[in-house]
Structure 1
Amino acid sequence: MQPEDVFELTGVSDPRVSPDGRTVAYVVWRIDKETNAYPSAIWTRAVDGTGEPRRLTSGEHRDIEPRWSPDGTRLAFGSDRGSKAVQLFVLPTDGGEAVRLTDRDEDVTQAAWSPDGSRLVFASRVRDGAYDEQDDAKRKPRRFTRLRYKYDNIGWTGDRPQHLFTVAADGSEEPKQLTHGDFEDGFPCWSPDGRRIAFTSARHDDWDISVVEDLYVIDADGSADPELLTSSDGACFMPSWSPDGRRIAFALYPAVMDDPKHWQIAVIDVATRERRVLTASLDRTCLPYPALREPIWDGDDLLFAIEDGGNTHLYRVPADGSTPPALEVGGVLIVTGYDAAGGSVVHTATQPTKLSELFAGPTRLTDVGDAFVRDRELIQPERFTAVSDDGTEVDAWILRPAGFQEGERYPAILTIHGGPFTQYGNKFFDEAQVYAGAGYAVVYSNPRGSSGYSEAWGRAIRGPVGGGPGWGSVDYQDLMAVMDEAVKRFDFIDPDRLAVMGGSYGGYMTSWIVGHTDRFRTAISERAVNQWVSMWGSSDIGWDFKGQIGEFLFENLDAYVKMSPHTYATDIHTPLLILHSENDLRCPIEQGEQLFTTLRLLKRQVEFVRFPAESHELTRSGHPVHRVMRFEVVLDWFERTLRKGDGA
């Protein structure tokens, strides 16, 4: 795979089964080089695999989130056709023109049909009146009283909160706003009788300085204030009302400022408020990153996804908790979407050398990525185990270079995932394939602190306050052990030409590593946390890391200084490329600026590359042209400092 191949990527996502279980609607996305965008189309296919796939929308725009009407005769979907924002449309499934239901300044998302098919509920942001002024030089200043006023990849939220609306499915009336106030409301779902809508929000006093999110219900006509269902002792996410109307299933984060914890699947009795957790026995997080969707009712069971040792699998559990969760879809793969209706279960999934495709059980229903796979040499990862200093076993993978020849020695790149509570695993990973395609061996792993394993594994790097060692401790030992084992086990790796790189937490670990060892010839630190003291207030969620560090900055400044890679900048002698996005609100660009400033003043070999108009998500969903440029920058750096030996 070469950098330009980014423009050829495609895949299937968001499968939805028709109420009778016979047909599945899904999204096929692609990348358009000319428009520098991600257009997508909605398709349908018979669940039993008969006939050919049928395209319902043109794919010239971004058509997303197909949702079947209760009688299966219509599909609601979002699209940016004819608008700068995504609007809500309804399309007859037997042919005809789509009816546009909304005309909003902000995206319409999370649409759900009322049980009688007459209305839809959706979420959309509501702008402050100051946005009416188009000239920023004349615009009123923003005034915030809540701490959560911005969010990466979304922008300002304090003056454009997200609220719920309903609209007639035939387009006969304007949308009606249901929720109000300086709150964030989302993930609406209807009660089976159509009288109420459940949703998630934080509406308690000082909601902005806690990480609590609750379930609420509101009358579908908006005639009364929202009613609190849950007890404000964690985070509730993505509710799903049972067919009999008695219970609501949801994803539960069972802690406040005590991170990380495993997400669980829970149900609450609407009448008694009694809550039952169904998934604790798995000891795995039951909300993969990024989140796929709500738990789905399939009869008396619930379907949900978990992360497990580099895989994402689909599980089933009885809603009454009578038996433990059972595997529904497993294997060496990452499930990327799923649905169940009318007795049919479907899912989308990706594997290391296969793009995301649609399946009904073992039957593959699409082949959108076949041409991409067929026309390129994609490398199958080899899994191996490393043993850390204290005897802990760590899962790891290696990709051999494209065109690998026995007897040759190759430079190797250790790449580190973000999070830290995320996982590398068995999916198509464009970054690893591009680096392997350029002739490098690529090593990656799930050190302690990762998700996909026991909760104790994820919590192993909490601190340094409260008894845990903090970041840059056993995770550092695990990563060094992985590199040691790779060099020992795979004799084609040149031990004198090793590189390390990573983004976000992976960028943090890269900066930390080169401040604590000179074993790597070169390094790339991307969108990193380098200075916790400034990250505290400049990031959209910097203060929330008390849940991992153990105390707030003003309670223990020394802990934040000690855990900052910038503190050890004078010990960095490894040539370092710093990559950052100028619109990153998660790890703001000042994090890169600080490390670059110090290293340049120290006259170390350092370069700083800044991408305009990009957020923290550049490598995953940034503008395609910038994704290609980033690959070219990375490969140029490695060509100069790793392959040709221009490193220290």
Structure 2
Amino acid sequence: MKHVSIDDIFHIKSVSAPKVIKEENSATYYVTHLDEKENKYVTHLHEANAYGLKQLTFDNERVSQVAHSNDGNLTLFVAKGDNDKPQIFLLRRTGGEREQLTNETDGVSNPMFSNDGTSVFYHVNVKEENKDDDKTNDKKQPVHITNMKYKSDGLPGPFGYKEESHQVVKKIDIESREVETVLSGSADYTLLSELTDGFIYTTNESDDADFNFTNTLYVKEKAVALQNKSVYDVEVSEDEKHALLLTSDFNYKNAAHLTIEILDLETFKLTDVTGKLDRPAGSAVVQDVQQSEETKVFSWISNREFVFLLSEDGAVNLYKGNVDAEVQPLLQSEHNIFGMDAYDDKVYLTISTPISPSELYVFDLNTNQLTQLTEENSEYIESRKIVTPESIRFGSFDDEEIHGWFMKPADFKENEKYPLVVNIHGGPHAFYAHTFFHEMQVLAGLGYAVLFTNPRGSHSYSQKFVDHVRGDYGNTDYKDIMASVDYALEVYDFIDEDKLGVTGGSYGGFMTNWIVGHTNRFKAAVTQRSISNWISFRGVSDIGYYFTDWQIQAGLNDIEKLWHHSPLKYVDNVETPLLILHSEYDFRCPIEQAEQFYIELKYRKKTAEFVRFPDADHNLSRTGAPHLRVKRLEYMTEWFNKYL
């Protein structure tokens, strides 16, 4: 039986984003694979119904943002249109070819059917006129910037500039194709739901847009007081008496739990659902094979009851609640539910486990029975020697319980010694979970033991646990990670303590840089999309000026604190051979962070090498070009092979 290998990314399929077709007792879902020859991702739409499974789209493309009309007769999705921009396409269940519904110059996003199914709402960005634009020739022109949020990771090109624009909501009639703008203004408008006599929507209107990080919820033109919270999603009960809100409390900045609240649409009274559970709604799972995620956090199953997803202790589970805010677990296990939709007595779920990349399931609310519907990855799983991670819990330096996973090498034999690789997640407010992780399986297949944990700062635990690291990077979190190494060495006597490796990306890259500057216990390290200098990061990252405020809790008026938490300060202490991997177009952790660390290491004659990935952004390891994802893992594993 073959070990999991690097090029297995071309053999693993991702089953994701179930979407119920009401009245049809069925659901659609995506199946995504990586096309090695074309070097791209391909996502097809499938349907599971009473007669079995069938594929609905066949073009060599990515489809997304599927929606179904209430009567189930029409389906829409987003794909590249005639102008190579994302446009809305329509499928009629009566048959026929798909129809391109929109032809917006810069594409569309977030479409939804009107309640009567005769039209489709969608979002577009309307650019502001730039007085410096010279439209009479094709020469490159200066970019005139007036705001602080002027770039964003993931946007094309070497600079990631965001053109100054406002998001508006349009409506297109399906038959006449007439288009009208229904929500617009001097801010971004996001339509969340249509009511019988109005809309529920949000705007980010503010007198100080550079420092505005919350939105305002409107119900039929009336603002709802949310006390310094933002709303990310809304679902209205069929009788339009209640709405489920997905919110976060800005008092904790980006460390806040996502919470579910119930809004009474008559009195505007808010009732907490999940805040009292002290666990976050939805998911912030770190993984590398689950593609085309469009996670729905909650769904009404009647006018009084709903189901929702909750992250708890390294898992994402299914719960049920009601309008009285009573909640109960429905499906708890060592799994990651990363897709959900429900109607009446059926809940459709896409689930990953540590030994299964993803499949579609249905949960019967009458019998509480879970049934697997697809076997997209069964042949792959049966043909590979997949290692089952062992869930571990241990007391850190101060006895705080830390949760994580340990994997033995794929060909583990008693009485032999093995090297260990410690893998640190990003965020820091994300979390490792009971989910399939290709990178970990590759390392185990190459003969490494693998350790990955959720130190303080990680989600799926208490709000206090998540918030703990803010203002204190490199202290308790570092001690938690080192305590996990001590625990592994104590419990697993086959680990060779002279052959320890460490790697991580983003915040995990920061922590890798921090670790090699504070201990020489590791004999090899690979830092990815990392941070080395908070002083420069503040001004060059697309989130820098407010991220350092929120996370390091310091600005340029406190250079000493920014420098104290910067790995670059400790570069003289580094003795561990370090490989630096970074994307050219990473605007979240810009490549200058890697450049600084590399130059100072080489200046001091340290062992370091630097690999730059072209045309790649911060998400290289998850959604980057397939051939670059392969090269990233090849560089990493070759480095560990060389030094461990």
Assess same fold via TM > 0.5.
Answer: yes
Q: Which residue of 2 aligns with 1:159?
A: 164
After TM superposition, list the pairs within 5 Å mapping 1:532-571 onto structure 2: 532-546=534-548, 548-549=550-551, 551-571=553-573
Task: Please list, as runs of the form range in 1=range in 2, the aligned pairs for 1:340-419 lying within 5 A after superposition.
Answer: 340-361=342-363, 362-419=370-427
TM alignment of 1:254-403, pairs within 5 A: 254-256=249-251, 258-289=253-284, 292-299=295-302, 300-321=304-325, 323=326, 325-361=327-363, 362-403=370-411
Q: Could you tell me how far apart the structure 2 residues matched to 1:392 and 1:136 are?
A: 63
Q: Relative to structure 1, is the Cα distance of residues 493 and 106 closer, same or farther in structure 2, using a 3 angstrom cutoff?
A: farther
Partner residue in 1 for 2:141 = 140
Greater Cα offset, 86-95 or 545-554? 545-554
- Percent identical among aligned pairs is 32
Q: 1:435 to 1:97 in 2, by over 3 A?
A: same
**Equivalents in 1 of 2:552, 2:531: separation in Å?**
17
**Superposition pairs of residues 162-201 of structure 1, within 5 angstroms:** 162-170=167-175, 172-181=176-185, 183-186=187-190, 188-191=192-195, 193=196, 195-201=197-203
- Contact 1:237 1:250 survives alignment (8 Å): yes
Given candidates 2, 11, 17, the residue that maps to 2:5 is 2
- Return the alpha-carbon distance in structure 2 between the equivalents of residues 508 and 137 of structure 1: 41
Change (3 A) 1:115 1:258: closer
Superposed counterparts of 1:241-252, under 5 Å: 241-252=236-247
Structure 2 CA distance for partners of 1:241 and 1:139, relative to 1, 3 Å: farther
SS at match of 2:542: coil
Closer/same/farther in 2, CA of residues 13 and 570 from structure 1, 3 Å limit: same
User: Per-residue deviation at 1:161?
Assistant: 4.0
Contact 1:183 1:203 (C-alpha < 8 Å) held by counterparts: yes
Native 8 Å contact 2:81 2:103 kept in 1: no
Q: Shift in Å at residue 60 of structure 1? A: 1.8
* Alignment check: 8 A CA contact 2:500 2:524 kept: yes
Q: Deviations over 1:14-56 (max 9, x none)?
A: 101111151111111111112211111111112xxx4320111
Aligned mates of 1:551, 1:396 — CA distance in 2: 28
Q: Secondary structure of the equivalent of 2:627?
A: helix
2-structure distance, mates of 1:365, 1:436: 30
Give distance in 1, aligned partners of 2:264 and 2:144: 40
Cα distance in structure 2, aligned partners of 1:105 and 1:93: 28
- After TM superposition, list the pairs within 5 Å mapping 1:543-622 onto structure 2: 543-546=545-548, 548-549=550-551, 551-622=553-624
Q: Displacement, 1:520?
A: 0.2
Deviation at 1:196, TM superposition (A): 2.3
Q: 2:461 matched to which residue of 1?
A: 453
TM-score, normalised relative to structure 1: 0.91
**Partners in 2 of 1:474 and 1:42 — Cα distance?**
45
- 2:127 touches 2:163 (CA, 8 Å); kept in 1? no
Of residues 265-274 and 568-577 in structure 1, the stretch that sits farther from structure 2 once superposed is 265-274
Is structure 2 residue 233 aligned with structure 1 residue 238? yes
Q: Report the CA distance shift for 1:364/1:276 in structure 2 as closer, same or farther (over 3 A).
A: same
Q: Take 1:214 and 1:403, find their aligned partners in 2: how far apart are those partners?
A: 55
Alignment of 1:474-489 (within 5 A): 474-489=476-491
The 1-side partners of 2:622 and 2:134 are apart by: 33
Aligned residues: 621
- The answer to whether the Cα contact below 8 Å between 2:318 and 2:332 also exists between their aligned partners in 1 is yes
Root mean square deviation of aligned Cα: 2.2
Q: 2:283–2:338: 8 Å Cα contact kept in structure 1?
A: no
Question: What is the Cα deviation at residue 307 of structure 1?
Answer: 1.3
| Native 8 Å contact 1:258 1:547 kept in 2 | no
**2:513 is the counterpart of 1:511:** yes
* Unmatched runs of 5 consecutive residues or more in structure 1: 219-225, 464-469, 643-648
The residue aligned with 1:501 is 503
SS of the residue 1:545 aligns to: helix
Q: For residues 329 and 133 of structure 2, what CA distance do their matches in structure 1 show? A: 52
Residue 515 of structure 1, CA deviation:
0.5
Note the C-alpha offset of 1:606. 0.6
Q: Which moved more, 1:560-569 or 1:177-186?
A: 177-186
Report the CA distance between 1:119 and its aligned residue.
1.0
What do residues 522-578 of structure 1 show as CA deviations (whole Å, max 9, x unaligned)?
101111121111111211112222564464403422221111111111111111111
Deviation (angstroms), 1:187: 5.3
Contact 2:261 2:272 in 1 (8 A): yes
Report the residue type matching 1:32 in the other structure. Answer: D
1:638 CA displacement: 1.2
Contact 1:527–1:589 (CA under 8 A) maintained in structure 2: yes
Aligned residue in 2 for 1:111: 111
Task: Tell me by how many angstroms 1:288 deviates.
Answer: 1.4
Deviation at residue 186 of structure 1 after TM alignment:
3.2
CA contact (8 A) 1:27 1:65 kept: no
Deviation at 1:621, TM superposition (A): 0.7
Deviating more after overlay: 140-149 vs 16-25: 140-149
Structure 1 residue identity aligned to 2:308: F
Shift of 1:100: 1.0
CA distance in 1, matches of 2:577, 2:107: 43
* Structure-1 residue corresponding to 2:494: 492
**Preserved CA contact (<8 Å) 1:148 1:209:** no
Q: Distance in 2 between matches of 1:58 and 1:214?
A: 40
